Amino acid sequence: MDTLQLDQHISQQFNADLEHLKTALLEMGGLVEEQLADVIKAIESGDSSLAEKALIAEDEIDRRELSIDKECLTVLARRQPAASDLRLVMMVSKAIRDLERMGDEASKIARMVIALSEDGTEIRGNSELRHLANSVVKIVRVALDAFAHSDVFEAIKVVKDDKEIDKEYQSTMREMITYMMEDPRQISRVMNVLWMLRSLERIGDHARNVAEQVIYLVRGMDIRRTDLSDVERQLESKS
């Protein structure tokens, strides 16, 4: 069932509850997209007022996370949803966490932009930063679209594109390291760019999480970490 058929329940209220969860998640996603767009404009223009705006947006995003979380809990308690309804509630409750984290990362970038703009000088790596930022903005949008349309193909695309972003992040990072080696006076500024790149890359990962959740929602399939040896490697790296 590719469409979620949220209007088909015997209980109209249940229809409304689930519809609202879906809308609320998309609205929260919209806020994150907007915040991210502001942050990126701020990077391009060095305009710290846009960065300030992004910082304010974070508060609203956090509030949304709490209220949607509460709604999920209420639906679980009152309706004991099953099958696709259950998957929707679980998916939403996980996706809001990812969106909230995206908001956090965007705010981190905003703070860097403010710090850099106070510094006043043009920083090396700006073009790389912009390039990665545009890729990340795109997959965030596609992930939310995939959710809105229950489209697994779009979701798969996000997973694939995130892989490309990870590669791009690595090669950009190598470049940044080269800059620092060439001119040690730039280290502290390039470090700031590195942190921004890192945040962008993390936002891409959260977009991928959302996309993976969309696949779970639509198909009931968990594609996260399906490689066992990879799980083992992760366990080792954490121990």
Partner 1 sequence: MSDIPVSTPINPMLGDNMQQATLDDRNNIPNAGHGGHTVIEEATQDKVKATEKNKTVGKPLCDNPKIEVRDVSVFYGEKQAVFGVDLDIAKNEVIAMIGPSGCGKSTFLRCLNRMNDTVDTCRVEGSITLEGQDIYAPKLDVVPLRAKVGMVFQKPNPFPKSIYENVIYGPKIHGLASRRSEMDEIVETSLRKAGLWEEVKDRLHQPGTGLSGGQQQRLCIARTIAVSPEVILMDEPCSALDPIATAKIEELIAELSQNYTIAIVTHSMQQAARVSNRTAYFHLGKLIEVNDTQLVFTNPDHELTEAYITGRFG
CB of 128 to partner 1, least distance (A): 13
Nearer to partner 1, 50 or 203 (CB): 203
Smallest separation (angstroms) from partner 1 to the CB of 129: 13
Least gap, CB of 96 to partner 1 (angstroms): 20
Nearer to partner 1, 82 or 120 (CB): 82
> Of 37 and 76, which CB lies nearer to partner 1 in the complex structure?
76
14 or 52: CB nearest partner 1: 14
Closest distance to partner 1 from the beta carbon of 173 (Å): 6
In the DSSP assignment, the letter for residue 6 is T
Integer Cα distance of 86 and 195 in angstroms? 37
Question: Exposed/middle/buried for 118, CB within 10 Å: 0-12, 13-18, 19+?
Answer: exposed
For residue 11, the one-letter residue type is S
In angstroms, give the least distance from the CB of 238 to partner 1: 8
- CA–CA separation, 208 vs 205, rounded Å? 5
* 75 Rama sector, left if φ>0, alpha if ψ -120 to 50, beta otherwise: alpha
The one-letter code for the residue type at 156 is I
Query: How many Cβ atoms from other residues are within 10 Å of residue 231's Cβ?
Result: 12
Q: Output 63 or 78, the one with its CB closest to partner 1.
A: 78
User: Is 93 within 8 Å of 71 (Cβ atoms)?
Assistant: no
- Token pair for residue 55? 């910082």
CA atoms within 13 A on the CB side of 124: 19
In angstroms, give the least distance from the CB of 63 to partner 1: 27
Q: Which is nearer to partner 1, 50 or 116 (CB)?
A: 116
Binding stretches for partner 1 (CB under 8 A): 1-2, 5, 8-11, 14, 80-87, 152-153, 156, 159-160, 163, 166, 170, 173-175, 177-178, 181-182, 194-195, 197-198, 201-202, 205, 215, 219-221, 223, 225-227, 230, 233-234, 237-238
What's the CA gap between 127 and 197, in Å, rounded? 11
Count of positions (residues) in the chain? 239
Asked if 101 and 170 count as a contact pair (C-beta separation under 8 A), the reply is no
Nearer to partner 1, 9 or 94 (CB): 9
Q: Least distance in Å: CB of 49 to partner 1? A: 28
